[in-house]
Amino acid sequence: MPFPKPNRAMLFDSAGLACYIAWSFVFWNGSVLFGDLRHEAPVGEAQIVQAALTALAALVLVLLARRTAPLRRRTVLLAVFAAVSSLAIVVAALAGFGRAPMGWMLIAFALSGLGSTLRLGWEERMSVQGVERTAVCAGTAYLLGFLLFALISLLPALSVLAVSVLLPFGAFGLLEIAVRGERERGASEVRMLPASLDGDSLRVSLSRVPWKPMAAISLAFFGYGATRANGVIGGFEVSSEFHGALAGVPALASFVAILLAYLFYRKNAMLAFYLAFPLMAMASLLPASLDPFGGGTTFSVALVGAELVKYLVWFLFIDSFFKDGLSALLCLALMRFAQWGGSCLGQIMTDVLPTSESVAIAILLSLMAALLVIMGSPLSLKSPAVVEEDAVDALALRVKRVAVQCGLSPREQEVLAIWATGHTGAYIEKQLFISKNTVKTHLNHIYAKTKTANREELLELLESVDAG
């Protein structure tokens, strides 16, 4: 399926996420507010604190998923995140303008980590509308976010501060308007809302989430965090004369990663990992002395690789939201925890290891581990044309008829199609990118709906169906 044609609703969603992205650019490019603080601000410590608090907030959401899902409809909670994000800007500005000790920067970064959870509301909102729309809206949001940041950076410092304080509330307000419209129109705009956790315990819900892609995200961002700490161009290490141009680098990198993730999602998901990890390995091996942008190149390459992994996994999970009934908030919060937890550990590692060579070795080992994890979970996403060709097979037609007659879900039909060919549950797990417990659940549902007890009876049922 090609990208959906952009419309007013999609631009609205993109603008909402763009407000958050612009806020993050302003915060990470402190020179916009108060000049060059590279030599005064505790950049390294601040980055670690920010990553740790972001991961902690995501973990709390995972533990409270039963009460907070869907997040996009939790007005009070989202308002709190917006307020905390605005407060982070104010505290950073107080330190930057010399009205508070520079140590307050650590508090500002901690608040930014907590407040940035606001982004999950928008990601959940986009996820329920399918992969294609998510890819378009997320990519457009980065372009709009950078454009908004570039316009803000032209203002005087106090005006920048005033506008930046309002940006999180802009993201919050637009999300509230979008969700209100979603309620008024019902579910016509979305294929199916993600399942809540009311029927399952948190333990059961977590057991259904595939852990291998989460591990891949964590290991990828471990490498990114280490690379970022070695040659970061973000935050207070950006000089005041180049902050506008350099802030566009992460925006462009994220846009490219989203585009690549969608293309690989449509064709062959595994190839994305074979591209992402070598890119990050190359970035870790490039000496800073050879980088004409003082770490900007390595940062950008590492960011594209890590973001490619994150967005591809996100797109794959969106399919599971609809087909397997996984909670969108639970999966997105786990992804966020894996991302920022890995990044935090990577940054800490750079302070622990004695030399840049040892850091590079650690990054390479993490990327090799990530590749091995993914290779143990091969993803086979076929293009629509291939799927159509497979559907003419007699067995596939019988499976389809049984699925219709017995009321099987789309995912249960996929499981039945593979199960009927004699493959094991482990093969289904790898082929469909789902957990072992999810495979068992689907098989139990199939047996119950088809009134069969084992694979042999299922095969007999399929053979009895006319494939003509």
Q: Using one digit for the tens of pLDDT, what is the confidence trace for 391-442? A: 335 677 888 888 888 888 888 888 888 888 777 888 888 778 788 888 888 9
Domains and CATH numbers, the chain: 8-188+202-375 (1.20.1250.20), 384-463 (1.10.10.10)
Nearest to 122 by CA among 163, 150, 81: 81
204: Cβ contacts below 8 Å, ≥ 6 apart: 437
How high is the pLDDT of residue 241?
45
At residue 291 the predicted structure's pLDDT band, cuts being 50, 70 and 90, is low
Pairwise pLDDT comparison (218 vs 188), residue with the higher score: 218
Tokens of 272: 């994305």
At residue 37 the predicted structure's pLDDT band, cuts being 50, 70 and 90, is low
How high is the pLDDT of residue 187?
46
Pairwise pLDDT comparison (394 vs 239), residue with the higher score: 394
Q: What pLDDT, in 10s, does the model give residues 184-204?
A: 655 444 444 444 455 556 777
d(CA 242, CA 254): 19
How high is the pLDDT of residue 327?
81
Tokens of 16: 């909402």
CA separation, residue 218 to residues 78, 263, 431 (Å): 26, 22, 22
Lowest mean pLDDT among 33-47, 156-170, 282-296, 429-443: 33-47
How high is the pLDDT of residue 257?
93
Lowest mean pLDDT among 153-157, 394-398, 457-461: 394-398
At residue 338 the predicted structure's pLDDT band, cuts being 50, 70 and 90, is very high
- On whether the CB atoms of residues 342 and 218 are closer than 8 A, the answer is yes
Position 182 pLDDT exceeds 80: no
Percent of the chain with pLDDT over 70: 79
Position 450 pLDDT exceeds 50: yes
How high is the pLDDT of residue 314?
93
How high is the pLDDT of residue 31?
54
d(CA 327, CA 28): 31
How high is the pLDDT of residue 234?
41
Predicted TM-score (pTM) of this structure: 0.79
How high is the pLDDT of residue 42?
64
Average pLDDT, the chain: 79
Lowest mean pLDDT among 90-104, 111-125, 288-302, 439-453: 288-302
Chain-centroid distance of CA 435 in Å reads 19
How high is the pLDDT of residue 140?
93
How many other β-carbons are positioned within 10 Å of the β-carbon of residue 54?
26
Q: What pLDDT, in 10s, does the model give residues 352-398?
A: 887 777 878 888 888 888 888 887 654 443 433 343 444 335 677 88
Dihedral sign computed on CA atoms, order 318, 114, 219, 255: positive
Q: What pLDDT, in 10s, does the model give residues 131-144?
A: 888 999 999 999 99
